[in-house]
Amino acid sequence: MPEAPFSTRNRGAHHHIDNDFPVSARTGLLHLLVDLVEKKYVENWGSIAKELRRIDRQPPISYNVLKSSDMRQAEIDAQYILTDMRWDKVYDFCERLHSKLACATGYTWDNEFHEEESQEQVKKFIAEELQRLFEEELLSFDFTQGSVRRRGRKHTVDLTTRAQVVLGDPRLANARRHYDKAMAFFRNPISPDFENAVKEAVCAVEAAGKSLFPNAKASTLGDLAKWFSSTKEVSIPKALAQTVTAIYAYRSGGDGVGHGGSNGGIATAEVTEYVLAVCASQIIYFVDISVEQDDSVAF
C-alpha cells in the first residue's frame, strides 16, 4: 500500500471521520472514476452509472455505448447520484467498483483479445487509490482485501497483526476465533458492535491464558490474574498482573459489554480500540512468558 500523503501525515493526532463520506471525498472519488475511464480500467461511464443506480435503487437506464451523448449523460447521472447517495451506499459502491467494474485492458487483433493489464493488476490499482483517498480524507475505514473495514491507528494495527500471527499456534485456536470475532465486530463499516468487540477480545485473552497456563486451573481471566500474582511458575510483575485484572473488570462492568454491567463506562470506538490493543499486547506477552516457562523446565 502507498504511504499516506504528506498533508495527512503532517496533521498529527486527529479524529477520523465516522458515519460519513464527505463532499470532498466524493469529489476525490469522482476524480478517480475519470482516471479509470480514461485508462479503460472500467468499461465506460455507462457501466458506472448503471451500478450506481442499482446501489441507490434508482430505475435502470440503458446507455448506448456507441452514442457520445449517452455516455455524457451517463457521466452526468453518475456525478449526481454519487453526490446525493447515502454515505454508507458510497462505501458499497467502492467495493463494487473494485469487485465488479474493474476490467482487464488490451486490444483485439485478428479476432483475438491481447491482454495488456490483467484484471488483478487493475484491481490492485483501484484498491491502492481507494486506500489513498480514505487516508487523505481521514475516513475511519481502510480498503483492504476488496472490502471496506474499520481502521485502527497504526499502533493498534501493528499490535493486532502481531497478535493474530502468534494466535496461529494450534493451542490457541479457540483464542483466535474470539479475537477474529472481535476484529470483525470492530471493523464493520456500517454497524460496528463495540460492546461485542470488547467482550470477544477479552475472551481471547482468557482463552489464550487458559490454554498456555493449564496449571492455573483458571475458569475465568480473573482467576488467571490471581494465579499470576501468587505463582512462582511464571514471573509476572504484580503491577502487570493487575492490568489483566483491570481489563477483565471492564469486560464484566462496561456498559452493555458483559455480566449486565451498566456503570463501567461506555464502549466507544476509542475505548474499544484501546481494549483491542491491550488485549493484543497481553496475548503476545502470554505467549512470550509461556515460552520462558517451557525453557525453564528441566529434562
pLDDT per residue over 7-23, tens digit each?
665 555 456 788 899 99
Q: Mark whether 24 and 98 lie in a shared domain.
A: yes
pLDDT tens string 45-97: 999 999 999 999 999 999 999 999 999 999 999 999 999 999 999 999 999 99
Least confident of 19-28, 54-63, 95-104, 158-167: 158-167
Residues 156 and 266 in one domain: yes
Q: Is residue 175 part of a domain?
A: yes
Residues 217-272: tens digit of each pLDDT: 999 998 998 998 888 888 888 888 888 888 888 887 654 455 444 455 688 888 88
SS (H, E, C) the chain: CCCCCHHHHCCCCCCCECCCCCHHHHHHHHHHHHHHHHHCCECCHHHHHHHHHHHCCCCCCCCCCCCHHHHHHHHHHHHHHHHHCCHHHHHHHHHHHHHHHECCEEEEECCEEEEEECHHHHHHHHHHHHHHHHHHCCECEEEECCEEEECCCHHHHHHHHHHHHHCCCHHHHHHHHHHHHHHHHHHCCCCCCHHHHHHHHHHHHHHHHHHHCHHHCCCCHHHHHHHHHHCCCCCCCHHHHHHHHHHHHHHHHCECCCCCCCCCCECCHHHHHHHHHHHHHHHHHHHHHHHHHHHCCCC
Residues 195 and 82 both lie in one domain: no
Q: Check whether residue 60 and residue 182 sit in a common domain.
A: no
Instruction: For residue 242, tell me if it sits in a domain.
Output: yes
pLDDT band, residue 186 (cuts 50/70/90)? confident
Specify the number of domains making up the chain.
2
Task: Tell me which of 93, 117, 144 is where a domain ends.
Answer: 144
**What pLDDT, on a 0 to 100 scale, did the predictor assign at position 258?**
53
- Domain membership flag for residue 264: yes
Would you say residue 79 lies in a domain?
yes
- Please tell me whether residues 193 and 112 are part of one structural domain: no
pLDDT for res 30:
98
Are 138 and 16 within one domain? yes
* 246 assigned to some structural domain: yes
Note whether 109 and 208 are same-domain residues: no
Q: Mean pLDDT across the chain, nearest whole number?
A: 86
Residue 274 placed within a domain:
yes
Among 144, 168, 200, identify where a domain stops: 144
Average pLDDT over residues 199-224: 93
On whether both 228 and 278 belong to a single domain, the answer is yes
> With pLDDT > 90 as the criterion, what percentage of the chain qualifies?
51
Question: Are 184 and 282 part of one and the same domain?
Answer: yes
Share of the chain above pLDDT 70, in %: 86
Global model pTM greater than 0.75? no
Is residue 1 one of the residues assigned to a domain? no
Same domain, 183 and 213: yes
Structural domain harbouring 157: 152-295
User: Is the same domain home to 26 and 110?
Assistant: yes
In this structure, are 93 and 215 located in the same domain? no
88 located within any domain: yes
Higher pLDDT, 268 or 211: 211
The arithmetic mean of pLDDT across residues 164-181, rounded, is: 90
